[in-house]
Amino acid sequence: MIKIGIVGGTGYTGVELIRLLAKHPQAKLTAITSRKEDGMPVAEMFPSLRGWVDLAFSDPAHADLKQCDVVFFATPNGIAMSQARELLDAGVRVVDLAADYRIKDIATWEKWYGMQHATPELVAEAVYGLPEVNREQIRGARLVANPGCYPTAVQLGFLPLVEKGLVDVNHLIADAKSGVSGAGRKAEVHSLLAEAGDNFKAYGVAGHRHLPEISQGLGNIAGKPVGLTFVPHLTPMIRGIHATLYARLNADVDLQLLYQQRYADEPFVDVLPAGSHPETRSVRGANVCRIAVHRPQGGDTVVVLSAIDNLVKGAAGQAVQNMNIMFDLDEGLGLDVVPLLP
């Protein structure tokens, strides 16, 4: 059994990790930390876990995380980078669900996240945890940077086109929408029901923290810098991301066949039949990205629709997928969840 620690178990990604790992046949939850809730039974805070998890939250200072095989950081940005070195030195593998190790250029990271990086020497070692691109590197990694939610949906949508050089990478457009859980489990005015309900708005148009992450990933795939316009939106729903992606084709290609062949062996990417329109509710609670590709009026613009659950394939589910790869397990262990409907 893999002994698992979770740092930051009271947020949405934390409880989603606990939910998935509680039924994982090779996982043993040994520590779930929270300074504020030290001593509180996990199932008291999250009654949905009654009968599944009998641990109590523990203060990180007292949790023996060095005895774990892997530690997940489901924490705000800046926490993992202050603790990762000590864990790695103790032989513990680390999966960071925040952004501390996603961006390779330290100056770029510090610009977008507004703080000095505590362990820049680990950034080069960290493997970006998008399995559909970096599976073999993940397998041998000590430190995995779990991708963000928007970056997962956008990169998986653009990947086959950029990989084959079939579009103008200088003019990519990603129009993406997210449910309010993407903002985290904290009290903020913009996520109150009376503020977010019956409302729809764009935000971060001038620049969003996920922009450099997406640009880096697509640039690595293209082998050169890309030009990306990324506009996120907040929608009045709890879970889900829907990304509508636009690119200009520079070659005539069977788009449906291209996507079907690229993702034929990917267990968590579902290419829908031609003419389909993926819905966020079709992925709710599951570690799957559903994609449809269109060529409106047979023109030179390709439109890709990509839908994920931001808390699962966009966060905790992908983290468990990465753990499975790191420990040479079946990639789908603990992730055989049928999406919830309605």
- Distance between CA atoms of residues 100 and 106, nearest Å: 10
Residue 320 in any domain: the answer is: no
Total domains in the chain come to 2
Percent of the chain whose predicted confidence (pLDDT) is above 70: 100
Q: What is the rounded average pLDDT of the residues 304-333?
A: 98
The 10s digit of each residue's pLDDT in 167-217 is: 999 999 999 999 999 888 887 888 888 888 899 999 999 999 999 999 999
**138, part of any domain:** no
Q: Is position 57 within any domain?
A: yes
Residue 76 lies in a domain: yes
| 171 shares its domain with 288 | yes
- pLDDT confidence band for 78 (50 / 70 / 90): very high
CATH of the domain at 43: 3.40.50.720
Catalytic positions, please? 149
Task: Tell me if 268 sits within 8 A of 289, measured CB to CB.
Answer: yes
Q: What is the mean pLDDT of the chain?
A: 96
In a domain, 136, yes or no: no
Q: What percent of the chain has pLDDT over 90?
A: 93
pLDDT of residue 61: 87
Using DSSP's 3-state secondary structure scheme, residue 62 falls into: coil
Half-sphere exposure of 291 (CA within 13 A, CB side): 31
Task: Find the domain containing 200 and state its range.
Answer: 149-310
Burial class (CB in 10 A: 0-12, 13-18, 19+), 280: buried
Same domain for 160 and 267: yes
CA distance 147 to 159: 15
Which residues neighbour 91 within 8 Å (Cβ) at sequence distance 6 or greater? none
Whether residue 81 has pLDDT greater than 80 = yes
Asked if residue 8 has pLDDT above 80, the reply is: yes
Distances (CA, A) of 280 to 122, 177, 205, 256, 341: 35, 10, 23, 21, 10
Residue 229's beta-bridge partner residues?
A: 173
Interior CA angle at 252 toward 246 and 258, to 5°?
70
94-143 pLDDT, tens digit per residue, is 999 999 999 999 999 999 999 999 999 999 999 999 999 999 999 999 99
Whole-number pLDDT of residue 192: 85
Residues 41 and 172 grouped into a single domain: no
The b/e string for 231-240 (b: 16+ C-beta within 10 A; e otherwise) is ebebbebebb
Cβ neighbours for 336, distance < 8 A, ≥ 6 positions apart: none
Q: Pairing state of beta strands 289-294 and 301-308? A: antiparallel
pLDDT at 327 over 90: yes
Same domain, 98 and 232: no
For residue range 260-280, what is the model confidence (pLDDT) as tens digits?
Answer: 999 999 999 999 999 999 999
φ, ψ for residue 112 (rounded to 5)?
-80, -30
Amino acid 189: pLDDT = 87
At 191 the pLDDT is 86
| Predicted local confidence at residue 73, as pLDDT | 98
In a domain, 203, yes or no: yes
- Euclidean distance between CA atoms 22 and 60, whole angstroms: 20
pTM of the entire predicted model: 0.96
pLDDT digit string, tens, across residues 141-151: 999 999 999 99
| Token pair of 141 as six digits | 């990694």
Query: Residue 251 and residue 64: Cα distance in Å, rounded?
Result: 56
Is the pLDDT score of 304 beyond 90? yes
Do 88 and 19 belong to one domain? yes
User: What average pLDDT does range 330-337 have in this prediction?
Assistant: 96
